[in-house]
Each structure stands twice: as C-alpha cells, then as structure tokens.
Structure 1
Amino acid sequence: MSSIRTRLVVAAAAATALTIPLVVGHADAATTSATVKAAPAAAPAATSYTAAQVLAGIQQNSTAANKVNTKPHINTMTHSDVNVFQVAPGIYTYSSGMAIDTDGSDPDPDPDHQGETTWEDSNGQALGAHKVPFYVLGDDCWDRKTPCPHFYFKEHGMSGRQFALMFYNGKVIGSIFGDTQTANGQDTSDNDSRELGEASVKAAQLLGIPSSGTTGGVDNGVTLAMFSGPSWVVNGTNANLNTNAQALVQKALDTLGSSMNGGTPPTDPPTDPPPGGNSSYEAEASTLAGGTTITSCAHCSGGKKLSYLGSGGTATFNNVAKAAAGSYTMSVSFMSVGQSRSAVVTVNGVNQTVSFPATPDYNTVVTKDVTVQLKAGNNTIKFSNPSAGAPNLDRIVV
C-alpha cells in the first residue's frame, strides 16, 4: 500500500479550460435502474475525439450537480479539497497534482518504498511502479458509513486494474488502478484513505512529470477519468500492462466524449450546443397530493424538499420536456435518513420500483441515477409508495 510521508506538495487544480460544447445527454443504454452503472464498453465506431476535446468536456461537466462525494477529499500533501464527479454514466473524474508512488516489485531508493501493491498483475505479482502506470485510491471508506460520503471505489463498480485516462499538460495516457492509500486502523503512514493525487513512477514518466519518490511530482494540472465495470479492467503482466493500457486510450477518449456529447464529436472551433440537454425540476414545484408537504432544507438545491412522500403521499412532475423520444438518465437528489426506502416512479403511466439507499443525516443530499423512457414532447413523472414512506425529494435532473 502507498505509504508516502513527506513528498512534494500536491495541489488541486484543473487543466486550462477549453470551451467545447459537451454536455451529459441520453443514457447510452437502458441499464437496470437503481444499480451502479458501468462505463460504456465502446463508443460508436464513427466517433473520434481528441484529448483536448474530452478534457474540455470533463471540465464543463464537473459541476455541483454531478459531484459524487458529499464530503471533500484531501489533496495528499496540501490538504486542500478535491472533489470527484460523475461526468458520464460509470465514468468518474477528479483533478489534482501528482505525488509519486514507488511501491511494488521494482526496486527503488525511496526510503518509503514497499515491495507490495494492493493489486497485482495477472500472474499474481506485485505491480512494478517503474513499469506500470498506475493510480492510487483510498483503501476503504474513511467515514465507515454506507453509502460513503467520500468516493469509495467499491460502491462504484471498480476493482483492481480498472482503466483510467490521465491528462497533464496537453498529454493523455492510459493507466490502471494499482495501489491504495492507507486504510483505517493502519499506522504505517501519516496519510489516510480520503486522499487523492498519487500515481506510479511510470505514469509520471509518461506524462513528463519528475518521477523521484522523494523530490518528484507536480503541484497541479493532473486530471484522472476512471472507467468502471468489468469491461474496463486491464489484464496483463508487468511486462505488458503499460502496452495494454495505452492501447485503450483512443477507445476511452471516444467512449467518454460520445457519452458526454450524445454521440456527436465537437468541432474545432466549437459550434453552438445542440438544443435540449438536461433540465432541473425542483420537487417543491411539483404537484403534491395525499399529505406530501414542502419543508425547509438548507442543503437542498432550492432550499426546500418534499417530506411525507409515500404512504399515500405523491409528487408529480408535469411537463418534463424532451425533443426526442428515447432512454434517458434521470438524476434524483434525495434524503433517506437512517434506512433505505423505495419509491414507485411512474413515467407516462408506466411504473418501476426504485430502491434508494440510506443517507446519514439531514445535512447530506445524495444523488441516484434512474433510467427512464421518455417520449418526444412533455412527459409526466410521478413519485409514490402506496404502502410505506418514500425518500425526501430535493429535485430531479433529466
């Protein structure tokens, strides 16, 4: 496991913004609602994106509405805030600097070097930091809560050797999830599992970043885009994992670019965004019945939420407009304090039951994605539960 103690400062910052019109649009496929969605396995063959276009889309979609963590992560050495965003279905990003992880099967003069990594190659050998470009995530949920207030990889369909794009200073490389930051209860490091911003010697070398474990790294400008799901796990040995990861770079750029932009690559210079896109609908503006009430909520988007939904109480969102019929991802912001609760989501008369996980308190608003089939024009979306209480609702974005 990563055990860095005193390394170059790692400061959070995004790369230079580009105004490319990428927005989250249609769901690419109708996946099972209320489950963690993996990143799409491939982009349409005709779609081609550059690193600059995709990075611009990541920056544009790194918004409060897409933030995954409800408590900030910690930049490894500066302790400044870092946030994780879901910029497309199953794809998670953050921006930071880079400290250097020297751990694994390759020898290294770093006094903090360890001979093991959390994840191994396909032959069961510790990854070599000088051979394999890998990144580091927290080993557990520091808060010991479910769902975790921080980004915890196990809750998002990720496992060892999970592929990620890594951007820095006009370059992009492929990398894999190879090591973890210190878990709760371990005293081998001054760091903890909330921290982000560390990668292997090889990753630094490929990006042109100083790669010494004691004096290397950069303060800012590194962006990571992690692709969840088993189809994005990279197999191989220390001898070929780097080659295998780099072979996925263009596929990943095209997949992410297409997912953010509904399948149409942007042009240079950028054109105007296509009409439509996502719209936000506040729950307190919906039509209420059966005892559902509007209550104050300091942490909700409009300062209010719906309480007493379910057990006969309903909320109906009318005139949810879309230009084209299809499968869409509806993001539901909610609270379900103390226990999980279900809601019947009725879209144009068609019911589906969605389970919402427990949330820790009334200061924490959580977002859940639900796949819905919408028609062209105005749609009606109703939340109810005839037999039990449903979650408190903040808003929907679709």
Structure 2
Amino acid sequence: MNRRWLGWAALGLAVAATVAFVPPLLLPGEGGSAGLSPAPPSPSAFWVSLHAADEANLRSGARAIDCASCDGGRRVGYIGGPNTLAIRVAGVPTAGERTLLIVYETQDPRTLKVAVGDGPVHALSLAGAGDYLIPARTSLTVFVPAGTSWIRFFNDAGDAPDINRIELR
C-alpha cells in the first residue's frame, strides 16, 4: 500500500511542477485564460523554402533530374556554360540582407555563381560531399529587394553543381 501511495504522490508532484513551470499552450486565434497572445510577426520576418526543380522556375539549358536522395525527389543539373537556373522568390515584405541556404549535389569541386536580380555576382567554390547522391549545404548573405525577384544560379566558365533547393531567411 505504501508503494502505491508513493506512486500517486510522485505523479501529483510531477503534475504540479508541470503546471507551475510550463506556460499554457495557446493556439493561434485563442486569447487563453492567461491573457497571452502571440507576438505579431516582425515586418522583416520572412522565410521561404523553394525546390529548384519546380516548374515555375526558369531553366535555360539546365534540366530537372530524378534524385531519390533529394528533397522533393528531383534536382536541377546541367548548370554551367550557357545553361542557367533562375528561382522566383515572391512576397518579400521588406528589402534587406538575407541568408540564402543552398542545398546542392556534386561529385567534383565546382564553382557556383549566384546573383539576386541585377545585384552582385557571388562566386562560391564548392567541394560538396563527393557524390551526386549526397546533398551538401552552403549559405551566403545576399541583398533581396522587397516584392518579387529572381535568384540566378550559373557558371559561365565551367560546370556548376546541381541544385536541389534553397531557403531564404
């Protein structure tokens, strides 16, 4: 009987501690009994994840390739020389510097050039994971104007890595 009483006491203590130290869960649109409401998003808060193989993107010579290990099951390859990829980013609330994360695949070291709209060209020397089936990631800071813009991926001097997806934060 003592063991059972100890078990119930421990459970009661755990529930009391949880109530005392864990804030209540408030779902969007609920005021909750605590009178808390979610903070409004910052006007500059913006995050988007886009797949390179999306049909809305512009590919000049580059083409979508099936890829079992890629997000979304496809990536865009054959970028380089005259072949380019441009990914449309819409709904950016305010202009400013953002972090661009690029998920790519390459077997050999390659150079990737990136430009947002008519902005400066960023040249990245990427080694990758040494295999087209192993995604790698890199990031850089870019200036993104408010509204809609295009992020171009190219290498006019040689082959570029394949692009799987991007995130813009």
> Normalization by structure 1: what TM-score?
0.31
What is the 5 A alignment of 1:5-24? none
Say whether the 8 Å CA contact 1:321–1:379 is kept in structure 2.
no
- Indicate the residue corresponding to 2:26 in structure 1: none
Cα separation, 2, equivalents of 1:336 and 1:269: 48
Say whether the 8 Å CA contact 2:128–2:136 is kept in structure 1.
no
- Indicate the residue corresponding to 1:138 in structure 2: none
Cα separation, 1, equivalents of 2:162 and 2:39: 37
Once the two structures are overlaid, the 10-residue window that deviates more, 353-362 or 326-335, is 353-362
- Indicate the residue corresponding to 1:271 in structure 2: 38
Note the C-alpha offset of 1:371.
0.8
Of 74, 86, 101, the residue aligned with 1:304 is 74
Cα separation, 2, equivalents of 1:325 and 1:372: 11
Change (3 A) 1:320 1:298: same
Cα separation, 2, equivalents of 1:270 and 1:364: 42
Note the C-alpha offset of 1:270.
5.5
Of 151, 163, 169, the residue aligned with 1:393 is 163
Amino acid aligned to 1:287: L
Note the C-alpha offset of 1:356.
1.7
Relative contact order (alpha carbons < 8 A, sep ≥ 6): 1 or 2 greater? 2
Alignment size in residue pairs? 131
What is the 5 A alignment of 1:157-306? 269=36, 271=38, 274=41, 276-285=45-54, 286-289=57-60, 291-306=61-76
RMSD: 2.1
Give the structure with the higher percent strand: 2
- What do the CA deviations read for 1:3-48 (whole angstroms, capped 9, x no partner)? xxxxxxxxxxxxxxxxxxxxxxxxxxxxxxxxxxxxxxxxxxxxxx
- SS for the counterpart of 2:53 is helix
1:322 lines up with 2:92 in the alignment: yes
1:313 lines up with 2:83 in the alignment: yes
Of 100, 103, 116, the residue aligned with 1:347 is 116
- Gaps of at least 5 residues in structure 1 are 1-51, 54-267
Aligned-residue identity in percent: 26
Say whether the 8 Å CA contact 1:320–1:381 is kept in structure 2.
no
Say whether the 8 Å CA contact 1:331–1:397 is kept in structure 2.
yes
Say whether the 8 Å CA contact 2:92–2:146 is kept in structure 1.
yes
- What do the CA deviations read for 1:168-200 (whole angstroms, capped 9, x no partner)? xxxxxxxxxxxxxxxxxxxxxxxxxxxxxxxxx
Cα separation, 1, equivalents of 2:102 and 2:37: 31
1:381 lines up with 2:151 in the alignment: yes
Cα separation, 1, equivalents of 2:39 and 2:72: 29
Larger of the two Rg values belongs to structure? 2
Note the C-alpha offset of 1:277.
2.7
- Indicate the residue corresponding to 2:101 in structure 1: 331
1:371 lines up with 2:141 in the alignment: yes
- SS for the counterpart of 2:151 is strand
